[in-house]
């Protein structure tokens, strides 16, 4: 009832329309997927479920959704697939130019002056050349999307809004019965998870932790009074997430407390920033950043088997198996460049200095992903402990102050 009456008001423009068709790329184990089901019952919305991202485009074209609900990985795949479809040469240059125009145009919409006439003219041309084709590929009726489970990243958010599809992010946990904050369609602030939803309360503790309160917050963990006492104090639920509100009350989530890496030099590193950016490369399926109590930050990377053949063809390489690709110099060089671009978002002390490509992807089937598609970090760290130690045996020298970029090691 709380979700239908309160959270539903934040999503009414997208969910409560007579012609609304929502395609959900989340398992029902995900609390947001369940919230969508409740909203559908309350609003009369048609809801469909996609069982696998492998059939992503086919499902979009057959269901023709007006709204999709997914984790950031789905939007990354949509972008990478569009880039791959562009092929090579001039067509690829046109796609990348159009992608840049979409991002710049979306950012300009947030400024008082808005997009210039010249940018608007470029945007119109890019729409005819690229955006309209992508929208048709996605079913032709898609206008809004909801992203949940992890930060989307501003690049993707601005790209999709720039090409005509607004992706709205919210924030919540199972313990808060889905969204406690949520952006509005007409006031969507990309890079944030929006203001507090109606009926909810949120604050930032002295340590920077996000705390929630309201009738939607759970009463305690089943048969675990100790965990309940630690999580709930005076009705405030400590989420374990770090964040901050801007001057307009929009929340920005900056990391997860238990995932913060403390290097041997005492540097605190939030892995999400690095992992989210690196997963944006078409060759990368999953990424886990490591380095706790180590001299530098490193990363475990898995290859995206679905994107590999197209990427190789687009780069003039012969077909390779996944095993061959893991040792291929061209593939490793591309991943190295992706790591370098990722490192631009952080300081030198936080940058990835070594990476290894694993011989297995992280999936729900092999136990490395939860039903809500999150990486089981502790299991990965335990099962690949030897591989992680190997990355530190060579101990690459730390970046020096006059170096253009840190030294980076690639482990085969």
Series of mean pLDDT values for 10-residue runs along the chain (412 residues): 65 68 85 80 83 82 91 88 86 94 96 95 97 93 86 90 93 89 88 90 95 93 94 95 94 90 89 89 93 93 91 88 91 94 91 93 90 86 93 60 47 58
Secondary element (H or E) of residue 169: strand 166-173
Q: List alpha helices for 19-116, DSSP H.
A: 31-43, 56-63, 72-85, 89-108
Equal CATH topology for 2-168 and 260-411: no
Question: Which residues have a Cβ under 8 Å from the Cβ of 63 and sit 6 or more positions away?
Answer: 21, 23, 48, 139
Domain boundaries, the chain: 2-168, 260-411
What are the CA-CA distances from residue 218 to residues 171, 181, 198, 235, 236 (Å)?
16, 16, 17, 10, 10
**Rounded distance, CA 199 to CA 58, Å?**
39
Task: Dig out the tokens for 242 from the structure.
Answer: 């770090």
Cα Rg of the chain, angstroms: 22
pLDDT at 395: 58
**Rounded distance, CA 208 to CA 243, Å?**
6
Q: Nearest 5°: phi and psi at 14?
A: -100, -35
Q: Of 200, 179, 168, give the one whose Cα is nearest residue 33.
A: 179
Q: In 247-283, which positions are buried (b, 16+ CB within 10 angstroms) versus exposed (e)?
A: eeebbbbebbeebebebeeeeebbbbbbbbbbbbbbb
Could you name the CATH architecture of 2-168?
A: 3-Layer(aba) Sandwich (3.40)
Q: Of 67, 61, 62, give the one whose Cα is nearest residue 25.
A: 67
CATH class in words for 260-411: alpha beta
Q: What is the pTM of this model?
A: 0.83
CB-based contact 194:169 (threshold 8 Å): yes
What are the CA-CA distances from residue 369 to residues 35, 273, 307, 377, 405 (Å)?
21, 19, 19, 9, 33
pLDDT at 198: 84
**Rounded distance, CA 356 to CA 335, Å?**
10
**Rounded distance, CA 179 to CA 336, Å?**
37
pLDDT at 364: 85
**297-303: strand order across its sheet:** 284-290, 297-303, 352-357, 409-411
**Strands 297-303, 352-357: pairing kind:** parallel
Q: What is the largest CA-CA distance in the chain?
A: 63
Task: Dig out the tokens for 250 from the structure.
Answer: 């929009």
What are the CA-CA distances from residue 104 to residues 28, 55, 109, 231, 404 (Å)?
36, 31, 9, 42, 27
**Rounded distance, CA 259 to CA 241, Å?**
9
CB-based contact 408:352 (threshold 8 Å): yes
Q: Of 114, 86, 115, 111, give the one whose Cα is nearest residue 98.
A: 86
């Amino acid at each position: 009832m709380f979700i239908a009456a309160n959270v539903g008001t934040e999503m009414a423009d997208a969910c409560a329309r007579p012609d609304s068709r929502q395609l959900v790329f989340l398992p029902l184990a995900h609390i947001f997927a369940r919230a969508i089901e409740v909203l559908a019952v309350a609003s009369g919305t048609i809801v469909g479920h996609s069982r696998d991202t492998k059939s992503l485009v086919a499902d979009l074209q057959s269901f023709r959704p007006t709204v999709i609900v997914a984790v950031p990985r789905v939007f990354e795949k949509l972008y990478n697939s569009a880039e791959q479809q562009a092929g090579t040469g001039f067509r690829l240059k046109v796609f990348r130019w159009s992608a840049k125009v979409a991002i710049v145009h979306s950012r300009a919409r947030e400024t008082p002056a808005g997009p210039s006439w010249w940018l608007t003219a470029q945007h119109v041309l890019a729409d005819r050349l690229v955006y309209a084709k992508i929208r048709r590929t996605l079913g032709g009726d898609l206008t809004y999307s909801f992203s949940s489970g992890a930060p989307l990243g501003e690049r993707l958010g601005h790209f999709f809004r720039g090409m005509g599809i607004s992706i709205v992010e919210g924030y919540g946990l199972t313990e808060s019965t889905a969204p406690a904050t949520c952006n509005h369609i007409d006031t969507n602030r990309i890079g944030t998870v929006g203001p507090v939803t109606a009926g909810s309360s949120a604050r930032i503790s002295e340590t920077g932790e996000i705390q929630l309160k309201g009738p939607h917050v759970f009463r305690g963990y089943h048969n675990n009074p100790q965990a309940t006492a630690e999580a709930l104090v005076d009705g405030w639920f400590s989420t374990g997430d770090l964040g901050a509100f801007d001057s307009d009350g929009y929340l920005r989530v900056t990391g997860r407390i238990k995932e913060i890496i403390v290097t041997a030099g005492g540097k605190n590193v939030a892995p999400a920033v690095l992992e989210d950016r690196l997963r944006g490369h078409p060759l990368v399926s999953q990424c886990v950043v490591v380095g706790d109590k180590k001299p530098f930050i490193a990363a475990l990377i898995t290859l995206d088997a679905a994107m590999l053949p197209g990427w190789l063809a687009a780069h003039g390489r012969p077909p390779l198996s996944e095993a061959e690709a893991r040792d291929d110099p061209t593939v490793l060089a591309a991943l190295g460049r992706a790591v370098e671009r990722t490192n631009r978002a952080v300081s030198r002390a936080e940058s990835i200095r070594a990476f290894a490509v694993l011989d297995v992807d992280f999936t729900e089937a092999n136990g490395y992903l939860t039903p809500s598609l999150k990486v089981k970090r502790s299991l990965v760290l335990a099962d690949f402990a030897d591989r992680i130690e190997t990355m530190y045996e060579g101990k690459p020298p730390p970046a020096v102050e006059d170096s253009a970029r840190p030294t980076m090691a690639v482990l085969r």
